[in-house]
Structure 1
Amino acid sequence: MAGPQSLKPLQLKNNLPVSELAAACDKYPKPEGHVYSYGTAGFRTQSKWLESVVFRVGVIAALRSKRHSSKFIGVMITASHNPEDDNGVKIVDPRGEMLPTDWEPYCTTIANAPDAASFLVALDDLCSKFKIDVSKPCKVIYARDTRPSGLALVAALQLGLKAIGCEAIDEGIRTTPQLHYLTRATNTEGTKDDYGVPSIPGYYEKLANAYKRLIRRRDDTPLVVDCANGVGAIAMKELLEYLPKDFQVTLANTDVFVPGVLNHLCGADFVKTKQELPPSLKGVLKPGHRGCSLDGDADRLMYFYLDPKGGFHMLDGDKIAALIAGYFVDKVKLCGFKEPPRVGVVQTAYANGNSTKYIQKTKGLPLVCVSTGVKHLHHAAEKFGIGIYFEANGHGTVLFSSDTLDTIRNHEPQTPTQDDNTKDLKALVDLINSTVGDAISDMLLVEVILNHLRYDAQAWDSLYTDLPNRLVKVLVRNRDEFQTEDAERRLTHPADLQKFVDSQVAKYPDGRGFIRPSGTEDAVRVYAEAASRFEADQLANYLAGWTYDFGGMDPASRPKEYLR
């Protein structure tokens, strides 16, 4: 316990509410033996170890608000596509963006402070580093997904907010993209950058009205939406009240509050990882239908369909990016801009090689490859007039620069065709949730594009043929022994392992492979693709075997199956 005597020697430079923060910190002591790290998804681990972290995130978010002249900061409690017994927490910036990377080390230090005294010192260091005026008011808006652990974590968050005297809005159970939307809309209300009505009905109305402005024709092709038994089921049911009554959709996996079913054998991550239809959709999705899966917090989207013989075909984030990019570059041309916005695409090394060729060679678009992690894609996409980014896992969106938004708003079309397409572009800006990847917004965007192009799922799939690929996880003693460059596509260490990769890849037609360390565990990801399934599997196994030889676990502790 951090009593008054233990706090007296502290020499803090900033006027923090020491007694309140120390007393609250003692109620949520950091568990011994657990080390936390703030990454792209914030903090994430088993929910039973998270209460102290969420309490501290509440304080950090309040200080972030003070740093941003008392604007609202968002806090989302979610573990997205992870199993139900996991949970996590992340901070959302005033415009709905992710927390800047220069704050991440401070978040990590504060989360790992072993006692109240060191916690206060870490907070004081944060305030001094970023010149935070502690006397300013602070505001936080927060939400959670449907996990049972959410209630206890919200209580911890609320104590942190109360201890530092923060004004707070509890949005209850919401999707992650909804919390991002609310944060931005609340902060921009009544300004020239007004993002929409800062409410959940305002979110639905914005998407639905844009969809209605864009839809061309009635499409009777059924759409089956796998809601992953998560908060996306609630959002989809509510959204349908705003969409046209002839929107043909069947919602599946909507058991939101049934224990143990969240993301279990369903959802976007299941589809991407297993590359098969969720068992619960067998008999529901039929040939000729389109299907898509959300993940547990509705920020990832995966499409799929069955061919006439019942064969499963996946349309992942790469396919979604290719569809959107091709559509946007043609749409921009038809608007007749004097200085058209530059359309570009951002991918990671996991993007299928043929998707890269399609975007660069067939559509003639600039493409940038960045390190894995949404924050890297988002920042790279901001450099384009219209930046499209999707990870292969289905997380992505479209960004519009401020200059591009001005260009679209002020454009004076010269022909009816230009006028129609400019109206479409304005509606597309409203349909897309640019704050973060939003599975529901992305789903409506895909449906609009397919409607405009008169494509069914098979026609969309035929834009290019995916190269067969395989992803393997190899457990290692220390992932830090594996270091990369070139957007994680090449190893700098061990150098001899990269030489082996080069020699093996060269043996396979359309061969490509890379090895990169995991960001969350002592494991290495091995990716391989080639012209045939057999060759992709063979290449992956060769690379995985050599990876284990270079950094695998000691024989005494080696699991029965080190490849998973």
Structure 2
Amino acid sequence: MAQFEKVSQYSVQHPKPTGLVLQYGTAGFRTHANQLDHIMFRMGLLAALRSKKTKSTIGVMVTASHNPEEDNGVKLIDPMGEMVTPAWEGHATRLANAEQESLVMTLKDIIEMEAVDLSQNASVFIGKDTRPSSETLSQAVLDGVSSLDSHAYDYGLLTTPQLHFMVCCKNTQFRYGTATVEGYYEKLSQAFIQLTKHAPNRTDDQKHLLVDGANGIGALKMREMEPFLQKELKISLHNDGSQGKLNFLCGADYVKVQQKPPEGIKMNAGERCCSFDGDADRIVYYFINSAGQFHLLDGDKIATLISTYLKELLTQAGLDLQVAVVQTAYANGSSTHYLVETMKLTVQCAKTGVKHLHHAAQEFDIGVYFEANGHGTILFSKAAEGRIQQLTVDPNINDEKKSAAVLLENLINLCNQTVGDAISDMLLIEAVLAIRGMTVQQWDAIYSDLPNRQLKVKVADRRVIETTDAERRAVRPAGLQDAIDELVKKYQKSRAFVRPSGTEDVVRVYAEADTKEAADTLAHEVSVAVYKFAGGVGEEPKPFL
């Protein structure tokens, strides 16, 4: 078949290193850039097949998010802008790891298994981040698409959420928006401007926000978007890529893990600051108080701010829609307690990984999901959108209800419902703070985080750990969970859980308690239990000094 001859010819230009095995994880493939050329070519092939199978446009994003600059990665985007289905994750891993001589055979197997009609037209959207390796690696994706005589549209430099947005726009016949970067800026900025009209007389100081762009694509796109915001938000952009290195001593992951401001940003007391990650799908906020103490507002605080405001608007609009907050086991216990006990909101716990939260959020009228690391968004069911829209045009309702419905409609337009999006989330947070007349300190004071500690324990084989209850309890090895339960009983307001890493032979330990000392001690004691029960490697974990 001439088509497969073309695949063979192209694949010689993108040879697979013999014996290299990589796994398609939650965020696709991710490793050192020099190991990815063959992977990119093959994901171009797979995207073309997925497009033919679904008769829709598929996205391929070249990025490694918060990883160091020398890494890169790739992930596929399904028709509605969501992550690719688990069955096709399996196909991706098989295709990526097929040795050179069996590539065409593996490709044919996938075509047969999925009953792909090769005569069907295919359309693939491709985007890339600012890493030096992204240029050649995205070309490898293009080679893969064209070797199956399929059509590729190269958007060039994009944030990951922008590509998710474009794919969804294209496959909804542009009902979701226009599949261009300008279409993205226009939709979000118009919704933001409409929302901030409801804010009480904002001063220039209140409009001012410091943004750490992680020296990545988010900074570039923020500069492009600024004129669309019509000075309703005054952004002071730092780590914009002109000097520093991507994700190095800056970005959302650095700020969250290190619990301190990024390099390259000068903060005054009380100033609102936020950090994107390398591909702009995560965001965290922070400030320093007058005593110079650092305060982090992570995904839990963001979910709390947004969900409580949504509940307020639904009450004003007289709409009986269920707002649920989806968290992971890593969510701070104080946030869960506040949402359930004070706000009377539904809270559901999902397994770690954005795809698990996204699916759980789809089960509700309005699902707010955020991982503690700042990756998240809000999903509105079609029925909820319809009821909100009806209210905005109903001549028989009072002004208060109509006004609340209009605000809800603009919030829907401001959300990137396909995936977590730092720019969209930033505008949403800024709009809610403005409308409520809240400072970042008042937002932070909604509840106080319980002190917590995360650790890693090296083990011979991470697969000995099996969990249940959204990873909050260990069912194997025998005796480990009983040991954890006994340790937790020793401390006030405490909990702890362990889960295997998805990529390396380590077990992740999380502990929280009423004091920092108690959280640290509990984390250490649980680490020792993991070491003993789960086959620890090297020295036994030592206590904190």
TM-score tier (shorter)? over 0.9
Q: How does 1:27-426 map to 2 (within 5 A)?
A: 27-69=13-55, 71-116=56-101, 118-190=102-174, 194-215=175-196, 216=199, 217-219=201-203, 220-221=205-206, 222-256=208-242, 258=243, 261-281=245-265, 284-337=266-319, 340-411=320-391, 412=394, 414-426=397-409
Q: How far does residue 130 in structure 1 lie from its aligned partner after superposition? A: 2.1
CA distance in structure 1 between the partners assigned to 2:166 and 2:483 by the alignment? 49
**What TM-score, normalized to structure 2?**
0.96
CA distance in structure 2 between the partners assigned to 1:560 and 1:355 by the alignment? 30
1:503 paired with 2:486, answer: yes
Matched residue, 1:8 = none
Which is worse superposed, 518-527 or 19-28? 19-28
Which is worse superposed, 243-252 or 428-437? 243-252
Q: How far does residue 325 in structure 1 lie from its aligned partner after superposition? A: 0.6
Q: How far does residue 409 in structure 1 lie from its aligned partner after superposition? A: 1.5
Change in Cα spacing, 1:559 to 1:234, as seen in structure 2 (3 Å) is farther
**1:37-77 per-position Cα deviation (integer Å, ceiling 9, x unaligned):** 112101111111111111100000000000111x1100000
CA distance in structure 2 between the partners assigned to 1:426 and 1:341 by the alignment? 14
SS at match of 2:125: strand
Q: CA RMSD in A?
A: 1.7
SS at match of 2:291: coil
**1:383-414 per-position Cα deviation (integer Å, ceiling 9, x unaligned):** 11111000000000000111111111122261
Change in Cα spacing, 1:441 to 1:16, as seen in structure 2 (3 Å) is farther
CA distance in structure 1 between the partners assigned to 2:306 and 2:378 by the alignment? 9
Change in Cα spacing, 1:549 to 1:560, as seen in structure 2 (3 Å) is closer
SS at match of 1:266: coil
Q: Contact 1:161/1:168 (CA < 8 Å) preserved in 2?
A: yes
CA distance in structure 2 between the partners assigned to 1:562 and 1:172 by the alignment? 49
Q: Contact 2:369/2:378 (CA < 8 Å) preserved in 1?
A: yes
CA distance in structure 1 between the partners assigned to 2:134 and 2:166 by the alignment? 19
Q: Percent identity?
A: 46
Match for 1:459: what amino acid? Q
Q: Contact 1:474/1:562 (CA < 8 Å) preserved in 2?
A: no
CA distance in structure 2 between the partners assigned to 1:126 and 1:318 by the alignment? 40
Q: How far does residue 124 in structure 1 lie from its aligned partner after superposition? A: 2.0
Count of residue pairs the alignment pairs up: 536
Change in Cα spacing, 1:185 to 1:84, as seen in structure 2 (3 Å) is same
CA distance in structure 2 between the partners assigned to 1:388 and 1:420 by the alignment? 22
Q: How far does residue 125 in structure 1 lie from its aligned partner after superposition? A: 2.2
Gaps of 5+ in 2: none
SS at match of 1:495: coil
SS at match of 2:126: strand
Matched residue, 1:491 = 474
Gaps of 5+ in 1: 1-14
**1:272-325 per-position Cα deviation (integer Å, ceiling 9, x unaligned):** 1011111322xx211121010000000000000111111100000000001111
Q: Contact 2:191/2:411 (CA < 8 Å) preserved in 1?
A: yes
CA distance in structure 2 between the partners assigned to 1:204 and 1:102 by the alignment? 34
Q: Contact 2:44/2:142 (CA < 8 Å) preserved in 1?
A: yes
CA distance in structure 2 between the partners assigned to 1:560 and 1:311 by the alignment? 30
Q: How far does residue 341 in structure 1 lie from its aligned partner after superposition? A: 2.1
Match for 1:425: what amino acid? L
Matched residue, 1:12 = none
**1:427-465 per-position Cα deviation (integer Å, ceiling 9, x unaligned):** 111111111000000000001111111110111011111
Q: How far does residue 182 in structure 1 lie from its aligned partner after superposition? A: 0.9
CA distance in structure 1 between the partners assigned to 2:542 and 2:486 by the alignment? 26
**1:171-227 per-position Cα deviation (integer Å, ceiling 9, x unaligned):** 00110011111111122235xxx0111110111011111011000232423311000
Match for 1:87: what amino acid? N
CA distance in structure 2 between the partners assigned to 1:333 and 1:16 by the alignment? 62
